[in-house]
Amino acid sequence: MSEISVRLPDGKLLAVPAGTTVLAVAERIGPRLARAALAGRIDGRLVDLRAPLDRDVALEIVTARDPQAGEVIRHSAEHVMADAVKRLFPSAQIDVGRSDHGEKFQYDFLVERPFSPQDLERIEDEMRRILAEGAAFEREVVDRAEAKARFAELGEHLKVSRIDDIPAGDPITIYRHGSFQDLCRGPHVQRAGQIGAVKLIELAGAYWRGDERNPMLQRIYGTAFASAKELDEHLERLEEARRRDHRRVGQDLDLFHLDPLSPGSPFFHPKGVVLFNELVGYVRSLYPKYGFQEIITPQIFRSDLFKISGHYENFGDDMFRFEGDEDEELFLKPMNCPGHCVYYNTTKHSYRDLPLRFAEFTRLHRNERSGTLHGLSRVRSFAQDDAHVFCMPEQVESELRSFFAMLREIYHALGLDDVEVSVSTRPEKFIGNPEAWDHAEKLLIAAVEEAGYACGIKPGEAVFYAPKVECDFRDVMGRVWTLGTVQVDMSAPDRFGLSYVGSDGQEHRAAMLHRAILGSLERFIAIYLEHTGGDFPLWLSPVQVAVLPIAERHTEWGARVRDALAARGLRVRLDDRNEKLNFKIREAETHKIPVMAVVGDQEVTSGTVTPRRRRGGKEAAAALPLDAFVAELSAKVAERRP
């Protein structure tokens, strides 16, 4: 039998017979490693311990300490959960599990009646029992007919249909622990005991094969770790996410609320409006620099507009529709682009006028399905930092360059530095010709790379009328949100007959770009609140300064401090309540006010204030003349420094 060579992480080469399993290699290295092994890794890909090696490879043995250990453990926990469900509910049919996203795993079941939260507890207990039994996971390669027959006999009809999804020629493997077996690619732990801690998190309905025309299965989500300590840390992170939830922060800081009388349409409170307006004002302040002109188009349009744009047939059900006089069909606009096209067409354009860049912040309304509404991040009424660029086709590249320059400037100012950019390519259903799509996609990819981003590709993810760039921001909790986007429209120029007169005196088709940098302001605020936890930089803070007199005799000076700050446009509150300084500080801290100005006897006599920064702690701050204090703060605000 031929030998292969296995390179270990320390550089050592091990010669073993072809067909040696990963586990056997681990045993050659040492029995303790073999016992602790959860999986192997070849070229960054996890492989099962029982998988035979058939070529020269670089191999790492994955143990509980490995960053990828969780993936293996959770994958095996899926099987344990399915096993537990089958033990408690023998008539349940198993569909499939997943554990390749985040720190949770899931499994779907077809059951006569939905699981209850009590069932969840029972299932979790049963899982612990299975872990305690510590059965070994075994791997088996079977042929297709055998696999189908086996699951058919078990009454697992969903599973049989899943076998049909496996491409012909691919090996079919089954993993078994105890009396439970499941179709699975692996890899899996050696024995159930290696799953140190499990917790079932939640129940949900999920359509079979993700199609809403199919029956709904019951999905259980859980998480699993090598140790109880890691599980606790994970639960602590979930708790932290709950603390930062924008709905909670929005409530605590009195920024907005959602009222049952208008589901999905937020009320912004005065402080929320400050945040909203500061964001809009900032973007607006950059419009001259990047050559945008702001316009305001109608909120309501006749249906004809959306018939021209194509939204009528594609999104008609998701628009707010009503009737005007004489059965006139009207819609609340769900986006600005058609209106911008109408405006573009009000005059004949020369190539000398292009590019024309129209921006608009007015409100948009979409009748989102009730189940999809979520705080500020999914609403029915919102505004975007929306704009459309009308240009000659050969100007698209430089427009994309300008888009990324503006995007960088804004994200940097807001402290959104962890951004990944990708291009979504042509979906199955699309309009326009494929060559034009290919060309546009190439332009986008080149522009992303030129802007200095590694360009990811999201195959088939584009909108039906336009390839698009998506800018995904990773927040402090590690969650990814799509913010900015730019799209090359393959449809509107023709549908609206967007044209310009070229230097040759002939009419030419114009190119059109859609772009937004923050996207929906509502959604952006949600994301930003969770990212910052409500700790805004000075310039965005609804209340920038709290003036805190120590006793009543200091309020007069406090009022003059307040007035001096307010006169320079700073948002300031004088806390003249009859409370102790500690109380006022605590409240300013919990309200996330970035700067406090303490005034007592010393300050009154010397005409100063003693500043205290948010979370400044006990460090002794020096008193500052009022003028200097005001000048420092207004300079920071003007420069949008924290």
Partner RNA sequence: GCCGACGUAGCUCAGCUGGUAGAGCAGCUGAUUCGUAAUCAGCAGGUCACCGGUUCGAAUCCGGUCGUCGGCUCCA
Q: Which residues are catalytic?
A: 337, 366, 384, 386, 388, 468, 514
The three-state secondary structure class of 615 is coil
**Contact residues for 410 (Cβ-Cβ < 8 A; gap 6+):** 282, 283, 286, 517, 518
- Residue 224: CB minimum distance to RNA, A: 17
Smaller CB distance to RNA: residue 61 or 200? 200
Residue 188 carries which side chain, given as an amino acid letter?
Answer: H
Helices 117-133 and 69-88: angle between axes, nearest 10 degrees: 110
Helix 396-413 to helix 270-290 angle (10° resolution) is 140
**Residue 252: CB minimum distance to RNA, A:** 7
Rounded CA-CA distance 139/186 in Å is: 8
Closer of 137 and 481 to RNA (Cβ): 481
Shortest Å, Cβ 463 to RNA: 4
User: From the CB of 32, what's the least distance to RNA, in Å?
Assistant: 39
Long-range CB contacts (within 8 A, 24+) of 437-442: 437/467, 437/490, 440/396, 440/466, 440/467, 440/488, 440/490, 441/467
As measured in angstroms, the least distance from the Cβ of 516 to RNA is: 9
Nearer to RNA, 217 or 448 (CB): 217
Nearer to RNA (CB atom), residue 10 or residue 428:
428
Q: What is the DSSP-derived secondary structure letter of residue 351?
A: G
Q: Which amino acid is at 26?
A: A
**Would you state the structure tokens that stand for residue 448, as one six-digit string?**
């992303």
- Residue placing its CB nearer to RNA in the complex, 509 or 613: 613
CB 135 within 8 A of CB 176: no
Q: Which is nearer to RNA, 71 or 95 (CB)?
A: 95
Residue ranges of the alpha helices (H) in 253-293? 270-290
* Amino acid (one-letter) located at 634: S
Q: How far is 26 from 22, CA to CA, in rounded Å?
A: 6
Q: In Å, what is the CA distance from 174 to each residue of 145, 148, 181, 191, 598? A: 13, 11, 7, 15, 70
Rounded to an integer, what distance in angstroms lies between the CA atom of residue 45 and that of residue 514? 38
Q: Crossing angle of helices 555-567/626-638, nearest 10°?
A: 40
Minimum CB–partner distance for residue 547 and RNA (Å): 12
